[in-house]
Amino acid sequence: MTQQHIEAVCGRPAAADPYETGSVPVERSVWSLDHTPPAYRRLDADLEADIVVVGAGVVGASLSLHLAEQGVDTVLIDAAQPADAASGRNAGHVQPYLLSLEPLEALPGKGRPLLDCLIENRNIVFDLCARHAIDADQVHSGLLEVARKKSPELETKAQRWAALGLEVEILGPERLRPLLGTERYVSGTLWRNGGCVNPFLFTNGMVGAAIDQGARVYGDSPALACERHGGRWKLRTASGSVLADRVVLCTNGHVGAGFHPQLARTQFPLLACGLATRPLPQALLELINPTRVALSQHPAGLYPMVVDGKGRLITATIPGVGRAHRSDIHFRYFLRHLRRVHPEVGNLRIELETYWTGMTHNSSAVYERAYPKFYRVEEGVFALMNFGSWGNQLGPMMGMDVARALAADRPDNAVLGCERPAEVRFPGLFSTKLRRFLIPAARLADRFDLV
């Protein structure tokens, strides 16, 4: 497939490259291809509420739903429409564990409340879908991390989490072969509480459920200012405002926001890209991944993969510098990987359906000491953000937990604690390191089949 053909499918990169900023239209994302959720109207009135939530990604949607469920009068506004940003563009993996337990030490109760919350809500995505009749093409098929060598690191991690209460198994080649139709991997851990979800539908589903519980939702309404108003806060948009006791910013990076701009420097932004093939024949899917388990590879993780309900293969990665718009390159890498793992794919015609990019903030996959944060920005203004590549699972979970803490008027009781925003040093350094050096090095190793 040529770049020309791909541009015909995915569009030509514009001068100010929206691929590089993660702002190509969300319609490019595979998750929105077959769906047109409701469009919420602009806020054009002066409203009052107990809490106004800014940002209708997976985090703000869950927070609003759980606040409304507890009888808190909630308004949710978004600069665009729900799941327009990272939550509509991700790789669809539901990952029920944390990479590192180290940061727990710094949390309230040495992280025990967070751990308890993680274990108790280990199936939260699937539970929420069931409870609110959300059809998000979710599959509770498990998340499988595979390795080409026996990996003591994977095994230790699995044992630790199993002891804590997650359902996780260590698999050898004989169990992996029927699951993945390949002899390539000798070791794997199957996290049974994980799986895959269409994050665009999931987020939109939670927004719909929040409305059912009484929340009011507005789209196309960027928050422009957040000002003190007596003992309350007034959040202004271009054509309206919300006067509320509390404001919670769930804006992920908060980049470009004129109010509380320091929040944009609390994390390490990173560009990621995703692509999807056209639907594959059922016979081939039966061979490659009959159970639709969500896949990731250890240690490099260059080709995470899920299969959607239509039989498309979906993967995501980090583009090298200057390569964000190069769907041809990323598709070629993926095909090479697929043919290596499944030689029987051979010369079968597999076509790219769509390619997109998006921004994540704190890639916990690499920067594993960075957990999501619940900030007290001012008295009455909070922020829940920095979910890295863990938003699908931790987003709904922390949204639920913070809703519980705020509804009880005890923000400090959130399992993440509630801290003042602290700026990180050199926020751009992480992306540079990864996109300029680590990813190109991993690609080189991959080319020679060394990882």
Ligand X SMILES: Cc1cc2nc3c(=O)[nH]c(=O)nc-3n(C[C@H](O)[C@H](O)[C@H](O)COP(=O)(O)OP(=O)(O)OC[C@H]3O[C@@H](n4cnc5c(N)ncnc54)[C@H](O)[C@@H]3O)c2cc1C
CB of 249 to ligand X, least distance (A): 8
Q: What is the rounded distance in angstroms from the CA atom of residue 254 to the CA atom of residue 309?
A: 33
Cβ 41 to ligand X, closest distance in Å?
A: 14
Nearer to ligand X, 225 or 408 (CB): 225
**CA-to-CA distance for 352 and 275, rounded, in angstroms?**
7
For residues 89 and 298, which CB has a smaller minimum distance to ligand X in the complex? 89
Q: 41 or 110: whose CB is closer to ligand X?
A: 41
* Cα-Cα-Cα-Cα dihedral sign, residues 388, 394, 396, 402: negative
Distance CA 157, CA 368 (A): 14
Query: Residue with structure tokens 């072969």?
Result: 177
Kindly state the helix (H) or strand (E) to which residue 441 belongs, with its residue range. helix 439-447
Q: Which two tokens stand for residue 173?
A: 């080649």
Kindly tell me which of 118 and 272 has the beta carbon lying closer to ligand X: 272
Smallest separation, CB 347 to ligand X (Å): 29
**From start to end of 339-379, where are the E strands?**
352-361, 373-378
CB closer to ligand X out of 105 and 197: 197
> Left if phi > 0, otherwise alpha if psi is -120 to 50, otherwise beta: which for 447?
alpha
Closer Cβ to ligand X, 173 or 309, answer by number: 309
The minimum distance between CB 365 and ligand X, in angstroms, equals 9
Question: Least distance (Å) from ligand X to the CB of residue 325?
Answer: 14
Site for ligand X, rule CB under 6 A: 54-60, 77-80, 84-87, 89-93, 95, 222-223, 250-252, 257, 272-274, 316, 358-360, 385, 387-393, 395
**Type of residue numbered 251:** T
Residue with Cβ nearer ligand X (191 or 390): 390
**How far apart (Å, rounded) are the C-alpha atoms in residues 354 and 258?**
33
Cβ atoms 307, 285 nearer than 8 A: yes
In 275-423, alpha helices (H): 282-288, 327-341, 391-407
User: Can you tell me the distance from the alpha carbon of 268 to that of 427, in angstroms, rounded to the nearest whole number?
Assistant: 5
| Nearest distance from C-beta of residue 9 to ligand X, angstroms | 18
Task: Tell how strand 232-236 and strand 187-191 pair up.
Answer: unpaired
Strand partners, 305: 295
| Minimum distance from residue 393 beta carbon to ligand X (Å) | 6
**Whole-angstrom Cα distance, residue 105 to residue 256?**
33
Tell me whether residue 173 or residue 427 sits nearer to ligand X (CB atom). Answer: 427
Q: For residues 217 and 39, what is the distance between their CA atoms, to the nearest angstrom?
A: 10
How far CA 281 is from CA of 133, 285, 291, 310, 340, in Å, comes to 29, 6, 15, 10, 19
Return the number of the residue (115 or 272) whose C-beta is nearest ligand X: 272
Give the shortest CB-399-to-ligand X separation in angstroms.
8
Burial 185-221 (b: 16+ CB within 10 A, else e): bebbbbbbbbbbbbbbbbbbbbbbbbbebebbbbbbb
Amino acid (one-letter) located at 175: R
State the nearest-atom distance from the C-beta of 237 to ligand X, in Å. 8
CB of 37 to ligand X, least distance (A): 13
Give 58 or 75: the residue with its C-beta nearer to ligand X.
58
